[in-house]
Amino acid sequence: MTRRSPLSHLVVRPCSDHRRREALLHLAAVHNSTQQADLQHALTTARSADWRGLWVAMAGEHILAAAWVQPLSSQTAQLWLPRHVDAALPLLNALREWIRREPIALCHVVLPAPWDAWERTLVHGGMRAMATLEHRVWTCRTSVAPQPSLGLRPFTMFPLAEQHALLARVGEASLDCPALRDALPVTTLLAGFQAQAGSSQPSHWFGLTYQQREVGVLLLGTSSSHWSLQLMGLVPEWRGQGLGRAIIGHAQTLAAEAGAQSLSLTVDAQNTPARRVYDHTGFELRGRERLLGWY
């Protein structure tokens, strides 16, 4: 399929295989040192069918810009932006139309600061702003004694239907990325967490109990010495009772006792209660990003 852009000299179309390498050099991530490792991982794990989402804007035989919709797990995808914002809109319009015909429920992009110029262009191209994300890190030291004490039950011991039900309850009225939870069903969110963890049965995923009641979940990514808090949350009736700090204390203790160097997390900047807990438990702010998506 070839699509002529409103700029009469540009033609937007899928990239041919023999020009793929040239097109990839027009992606913004190639020229951004903070994104190069992630892009390299995406390139080395891409399957042949994944390149159908690599599109180019051309003037004659010259590639002026490129963008790539990289398929991820469970009907989701990531957009890799062109290098220059000026050439982005024709590509975005073409890719948005292409995605509508594909089995993709959500295609997202994460913008580092300053994101204003890119956000305006992406919104013009039909994307919706979903959240401002804060990235925080706790450097592991002595273990933290969590109070009150929570029971930790391996999450994989729950039947699959109970896993889904518990995650759905944790997500009810949550302030953490509500647009993301609205865009994706619980089954897709769970599959995404499993893909991040690199396992369908992660060893440090837990259902949480307190006073013999199921109260929440704690999902930790432990694939390296730098652990990540993939998800922590409480069911609605147990929020606001100090259990959030207890969950974090358990996560910090587990990471420290396992010899991890750090524990990182991402939180919605609008989630004031969670941010307050992270402030009190020593998580330092390392950066902010803007999440947008087609869905």
The better pLDDT of the pair 153, 195 is held by 153
Which residues form the domain of 152? 138-294
pLDDT at 200: 75
pLDDT at 179: 95
pLDDT at 8 exceeding the cut of 70: no
For 69, other C-beta atoms within 10 Å of its C-beta total 23
Q: 153 and 86 in one domain?
A: no
What is the helix (H) or strand (E) element at residue 256, kind and residue range?
helix 243-257
**CA–CA separation, 79 and 55 (whole Å):** 11
Q: 233 and 144 in one domain?
A: yes
* 3-class secondary structure, 195: helix
Domains: count for the chain: 2
Q: 151 and 84 in one domain?
A: no
Q: 152 and 284 in one domain?
A: yes
Tokens (6 digits) for 187? 């089954």
| 220 belongs to a structural domain | yes
pLDDT at 3: 58
Q: 203 and 80 in one domain?
A: no
The better pLDDT of the pair 132, 73 is held by 132
What are the start-end ranges of the H helices in the chain?
Answer: 20-24, 36-45, 88-100, 116-124, 160-171, 178-183, 186-197, 243-257, 272-280
Report the percent of the chain where pLDDT is more than 90: 87
pLDDT at 7 exceeding the cut of 90: no
Q: CB-hemisphere CA count at 13 Å for 11?
A: 10
| 209 belongs to a structural domain | yes
pLDDT at 86: 85
Of 55, 88, 104, which residue is a domain's last? 104
pLDDT at 223: 84
- Which CATH number goes with the domain that contains 189? 3.40.630.30
| 214 belongs to a structural domain | yes
Q: 284 and 173 in one domain?
A: yes
Could you report the per-residue pLDDT of 142-191, keeping only the tens digit for each? 767 666 789 999 999 999 999 999 999 999 999 999 999 999 999 999 99
| 131 belongs to a structural domain | no
Segment 108-116 mean pLDDT: 94
Q: 287 and 190 in one domain?
A: yes
Q: 258 and 142 in one domain?
A: yes
Q: 272 and 216 in one domain?
A: yes
Quote the pTM value: 0.89
pLDDT at 145: 65
Could you report the per-residue pLDDT of 255-267, keeping only the tens digit for each? 999 999 999 999 9
Q: 96 and 142 in one domain?
A: no
Q: 154 and 67 in one domain?
A: no
- CA nearest neighbour of 174 among 274, 74, 292, 281: 274
Segment 6-20 mean pLDDT: 86
User: How many residues in total does the chain contain?
Assistant: 295
